Chains A and B, each alone.
Chain A
């Protein structure tokens, strides 16, 4: 089972890839239903969140439950920059990404030195603290009332309306996120991340300054979440603390785990599946979360390595 591919296999992959790309680009032309487009935008946001978290939880195997906190930090940063300083989305977004990234770095500093269980706890604690700050720093965030009136993105004189322009924007952002993530796996740093997950001790014995790289994954995943948060703020035009909860973080973590930790494609598919299913089940509103939880349980029972465990970098269970 060596990792080689045939020319025919490559050609099939390219054709499928192009078909997928074409499908994604033409989607809003074919599907005019705003409700479905809204779901697609949400999928895009979660793809960005999950692929970002994949650096920490997938590549290096640290189960961080703080992704929603970085999501919120990006959202609030972008919203406040626009509302208070009049910055446009296009300027606020990269700043928000970096802003969240700094917090990712700060959380990483202590978190990476902790064994699994304690790392989970510390990241949850971080998320809770950030949530409390959103809730209580009322002079800045308006607390539980949230921030309304966040300006939608604008290109020249065209102001975003309907779901279609948002769809294309998140398609580009998520696409870029997936591309960068994939590029990293092709580089030395990506291999280092995977080595850290496979055998941290061996990596250390091979001269790898593991802390440096573990912190880098935290920073990267926070940047992704920050960018997603900024987009989210200008898409919803209203944000409030309740969105950025530990529960949300765990859902995003579930996407990474179910997709096969480390597999980028797995994170993407998982994000799509776990976003669409609760929406599709809206008609059973009250029991929605029960079905969602049930699906997770079923997958963990029958395919615990995740959906895409065949992926090269996915977590492999010992037999």
Chain B
């Protein structure tokens, strides 16, 4: 059974059909990339899977159970983490605190106990802090734990967003254009990082424009154009597919 199955997903916004009966699946342990020209509907797929939108039609199954229609936070707690195309961090909070937010799902604490400064709540806060620090070190940001998120560099912010998603202990990670705005050497680091996640047992579903990255780490590539799936296969198969080339006509990277 695939980890994630999308059946005939359709999304209409008013008169605009953003997705037209898109079906795809992601097997456990895979790195799957979703590519396509701008406006193809890639982020819409992510928004539906993560629960931000309710699909107009179609089904999403996660581990064989329906995912569509559930509240976003419940979907996140089922082990689906995501990053955003435009980085969405909690800018007033430090890196550590950003990651701690995701831990709310995982760690027990008592509100009243915290306010009254009970020792049990001290212990809880410590657990939050140490766990968050662990996650930060996975992405190499532990030395920046106390830095306010808005003060981090762009690359650090991207890594922080990933750390925050990792803290959910996800089995599926949705990464929306993780390499956007990155110079080549950082993209190479990112590729290693993502492969590292997969080696830890996390399935990766990726929206990307950087073809070096897509071709470099994907097990499979799915291509969308104008809301429909036009190709699917290994990176090599997709690269040579005439439909894909036509859709990208004018783009240089393929």
Residues of A within 8 A of B (CB): 1-4, 180, 183-184, 186-189, 191-192, 194-195, 197-199, 201-210, 262, 312-313, 316
Pair B93/A205 contact, Cβ less than 8 Å? no
In the complex, A184 Cα to B93 Cα: how many Å?
14
Q: List 7 A-B contacts (CB under 8 A).
A: A1-B151, A188-B125, A195-B93, A201-B52, A205-B52, A207-B102, A316-B91
Pair A2/B114 contact, Cβ less than 8 Å? no
Given contacts A1-B148, A187-B121, A188-B109, contact A206 B102 (CB under 8 A): yes
Residue B73 lies at the interface, judged by CB distance under 8 Å to chain A: yes
Considering only CB atoms, which chain B residue lies closest to A179 in the complex? B115
Pair B90/A194 contact, Cβ less than 8 Å? yes
In the complex, A213 Cα to B199 Cα: how many Å?
36
* A contact residues around B82 at 8 Å (CB): 205
Pair A202/B84 contact, Cβ less than 8 Å? yes
Pair B93/A194 contact, Cβ less than 8 Å? yes
In the complex, A186 Cα to B92 Cα: how many Å?
14
Q: Which of B50, B90, B146 contacts A4 (CB 8 A)?
A: B146
Pair B94/A3 contact, Cβ less than 8 Å? yes
* A contact residues around B147 at 8 Å (CB): 2-3
In the complex, A203 Cα to B57 Cα: how many Å?
26
Pair A202/B89 contact, Cβ less than 8 Å? yes
A-B pairs, 6 with minimum CB distance: A187-B114, A207-B76, A207-B105, A202-B88, A204-B72, A198-B90
Considering only CB atoms, which chain A residue lies closest to B83 in the complex? A205
* A contact residues around B42 at 8 Å (CB): none
In the complex, A125 Cα to B60 Cα: how many Å?
41
* A contact residues around B103 at 8 Å (CB): 188
CB distance from B78 to the nearest CB of A (A): 9
Residue B77 lies at the interface, judged by CB distance under 8 Å to chain A: yes
Pair A187/B125 contact, Cβ less than 8 Å? yes
Pair B168/A207 contact, Cβ less than 8 Å? yes
Given contacts A188-B125, A206-B101, A207-B168, contact A313 B92 (CB under 8 A): yes
* B contact residues around A202 at 8 Å (CB): 84, 88-90, 164
* B contact residues around A1 at 8 Å (CB): 148, 151
Pair B111/A187 contact, Cβ less than 8 Å? yes
Contact with A along B166-183 (1 / 0, CB 8 A): 011000000000000000
Q: Which of B61-98 contact A (CB under 8 A)?
A: 71-73, 76-77, 81-82, 84, 88-94, 97-98
* A contact residues around B88 at 8 Å (CB): 199, 201-202, 205
* B contact residues around A195 at 8 Å (CB): 90, 93, 98, 101
In the complex, A207 Cα to B73 Cα: how many Å?
4
Considering only CB atoms, which chain A residue lies closest to B107 in the complex? A188
In the complex, A310 Cα to B94 Cα: how many Å?
15
Q: Which of A2, A203, A206, A262 contacts B146 (CB 8 A)?
A: A2
* B contact residues around A180 at 8 Å (CB): 115
* B contact residues around A4 at 8 Å (CB): 146
* B contact residues around A312 at 8 Å (CB): 92, 148
Considering only CB atoms, which chain A residue lies closest to B79 in the complex? A207
In the complex, A188 Cα to B151 Cα: how many Å?
21
Given contacts A2-B151, A188-B104, A201-B52, contact A206 B114 (CB under 8 A): no
Residue B1 lies at the interface, judged by CB distance under 8 Å to chain A: no
CB distance from A82 to the nearest CB of B (A): 28
* A contact residues around B97 at 8 Å (CB): 191
Pair B93/A207 contact, Cβ less than 8 Å? no
In the complex, A206 Cα to B90 Cα: how many Å?
11
CB distance from A101 to the nearest CB of B (A): 14
CB distance from A305 to the nearest CB of B (A): 12
Residue among B51, B90, B92, B146 with max Cβ neighbours from chain A (10 Å): B92
* B contact residues around A198 at 8 Å (CB): 89-93
Pair A208/B148 contact, Cβ less than 8 Å? no
Pair B168/A184 contact, Cβ less than 8 Å? no
Residue B100 lies at the interface, judged by CB distance under 8 Å to chain A: yes
Pair B115/A184 contact, Cβ less than 8 Å? yes
Pair B72/A205 contact, Cβ less than 8 Å? yes
Residue B128 lies at the interface, judged by CB distance under 8 Å to chain A: yes
CB distance from B132 to the nearest CB of A (A): 10
Given contacts A3-B148, A183-B114, A191-B100, contact A206 B93 (CB under 8 A): no
Pair A203/B101 contact, Cβ less than 8 Å? yes
Pair A208/B146 contact, Cβ less than 8 Å? no
